[in-house]
Structure 1
Amino acid sequence: MNTAIRAGLARGVIELRQNYTNAPDLIGQFLTPAITLGVLFLLRNRSYGDSGLSIAELALPGLLGSIIAFNGMYALLNVLVLDREDGTLLRAKAVPRGLSGYFVGKIVSTTGSVVAQVVIVLGVGMVIIGGSSLSGLGAVTTFVWVVVLGLLAVLPLGAALGSVLDTRSAFLLTMPLMGLIAISGIFYPITALPGWLQAIGQLFPMYWLGLGMRSALLPADAVAIEIDASWRHLETVAVLGVWAVAGLLIAPIVLRRMAAHESGAVMASRREKAMQRAF
């Protein structure tokens, strides 16, 4: 197992380096955040109510939360779907402990990519928008545990979904995810939404990641616009923790079943169906 972990770590580092030395990959990772930052820059002088903060300042931490939730889940989901269809996963299965090394590598590369995106977007946002800062040990500590717990909540979910979905289903999944972003208080305070939408948004990790990021990056008095005028750290830990535990229990079972059923015949059938959809 140690050999598989070492191989996976090496694989993850190589993939991460390739992602950040390849122009198309860089564009794919940063195009949407760059466009969003551009929109927020235009909104930097528009205040939200009497909060004393602009809409852009309130939205930047939410953007970071959405990067963790969306990219942490969808990046791993998408790569698993593609690797199942092109035979990469089957080739890994043919190598002793190859699947263990494969999954470790994907987790390492996805985690590294998400963390890099968060740090870069935060740095750029602080410069062009302002209003956010990691001032003090408490803020830094909150930022770190929100990132770590958030990744634990969404990575297993991405692995489980990537084991059962095909390319078409993975693409269609982006639509409900976009809807979830809209009701999770990412770009506008959730308190402005109807109560039933607030309740739905609070069931998923995305809202809590945005809330956690706001608690780490915004001034203390910004809490006035949150539900119950509280950062609700205990609730954040509880909800993200439940998602993390559920994912860590379910994902290995789903992954093992998926790996056990991978074969040349299954891959050929899957590829044939994909070609039929294309034509």
Structure 2
Amino acid sequence: MNAIRRSVRLGVQRGWIESRQMMTNREDLFNGLIFPLIFVVVMFFMRDSKLPGTEFSLGAATVPSVLGAGIVFSGMLGMAGILSVEREDGTLLRAKATPNGMVGYLVGKVVTVSFSGIVGLLLVLIPSLFLFDGIAPGGLTSWLGLLWVLALGLVATMPIGAIFGSLTANARSIGLIMLPTLGLGAISGIFYPITALPEWLQYIAQVFPMYWLGLGMRSALLPDSTVIIEIGQSWRPWETLGVLAVWAVIGLTLAPVVLRRMARRESGSSVAARREKAMQRIG
């Protein structure tokens, strides 16, 4: 138990070090800033449009939806991307060779991805509070609602990302995950109310976490008058909690199994073979 505890502590330290490095690396900073900036600019130009059936700004109404989608991209794609890259460069193999190294490694990745997701959320939320009126009208209640959706959203998405990262052949395969995720964003009511879409698309969107994270964020940060554009004209907090919890249970159940199998297959020869293929593509 002490060894496991020490590995967890080292994993937290490693995650914090990686997070600090991310904040001081020029390329990481650019990648972390560019998409929040694009979203804020797009929402700013939507500020004079009105949410259908209300006098509320469509730009302001889009803010919480973008925050929910950002959790999916950070939690799922972020974790998948890190695992696939570090499988290819041998980092994961080195962790496997260390006693309880996989525990510390995964804890470190959870810290890093969570930090990245929270920073991305703040980069959208903070300027939006100055640009738009009517966000977080409930005060403390709104912020507490945001926190539970954020926490449950990360728990629901990071294990799924770890599964995808374990199953991808190499880092370039992440595009195969990104494209369907972007497609889900298009049908999950991120930039326009989901009720404007055909019912069959609404049903598909409601299977996945992105819609529910957007809905949970909207319920926390928007006034009650905007609920009229939601399915059933309800924030559906219990359904949001239930669907995200189901995804969290699925991910937490399957991720350890998939990660163990992936770790068993890792060897010096497999890493060398992936590097050789990468060099052939470059050459």
Matched, 1:23 2:26: yes
- Identify the residue that residue 209 of structure 1 maps to in structure 2: 213
Per the alignment, residue 49 of structure 2 pairs with 46
Q: Which deviates further from its counterpart, 143-152 or 130-139?
A: 130-139
Partner of 2:122: 119
TM-score by length of 1: 0.96
Cα distance, 1:207 vs. partner? 0.3
Could you tell me how far 1:134 is from its partner in structure 2? 5.5
Q: Which residue of 2 aligns with 1:251?
A: 255
> How far 1:23 sits from its partner (Å)?
2.0
1:148-163 alignment to 2 at 5 Å? 148-163=151-166
Mean Cα displacement is larger for which, 46-55 or 57-66? 46-55
CA shift, 1:140, in A, is 2.1
Hey, what does 2:193 align to over in structure 1? 189
What percentage of residue pairs aligned between the two structures are identical? 50
Which of 57, 60, 64 is 2:63 aligned to?
A: 60
Structure 1 position 136, deviation (Å): 3.1
C-alpha deviations, 1:134-157, integer Å up to 9, x for none? Answer: 633322221111011101100000
The aligned residue for residue 177 of structure 1 is 181
8 Å Cα contact 1:84-1:90 kept in structure 2? yes
Equivalent residue pairs, number: 279
RMSD: 1.3
Q: 4+ residue runs of structure 1 moved beyond 4 angstroms? A: none
Q: Residue deviations 1:181-200, cap 9 Å, x none?
A: 00000111000000000000
Residues 226-237 of structure 1 aligned to structure 2 (within 5 Å): 226-237=230-241
| Map of 1:97 onto structure 2 | 100
| Unaligned stretches of 5+ residues in structure 2 | none
Give 1:278 deviation, angstroms.
4.1
User: Larger deviation: 240-249 or 259-268?
Assistant: 259-268
Map of 1:131 onto structure 2: 134
Query: Contact between 2:60 and 2:134, CA under 8 Å: does it hold in 1?
Result: yes
**TM-score when scaled to structure 2?**
0.95
AA aligned to 2:56 is L
Alignment gaps of 5+ in structure 1: none
Aligned partners of 1:92 and 1:102 also within 8 Å: yes
Distance 1:161 1:149 in 2: 19
Q: Which residue of 2 aligns with 1:238?
A: 242
Structure 2 CA distance, aligned partners of 1:134 and 1:19? Answer: 33
Offset at 1:66?
0.7
Match of 1:107 among 105, 110, 117: 110
Shift of 1:116: 2.0
Deviations 1:4-45 (A, max 9, x none): 001001001111111112221111112011011101111111
- 1:147 equivalent in structure 2: 150
The answer (yes or no) to whether the contact 1:76–1:159 under 8 Å persists in 2 is yes
The residue number in structure 2 matching 1:73 is: 76
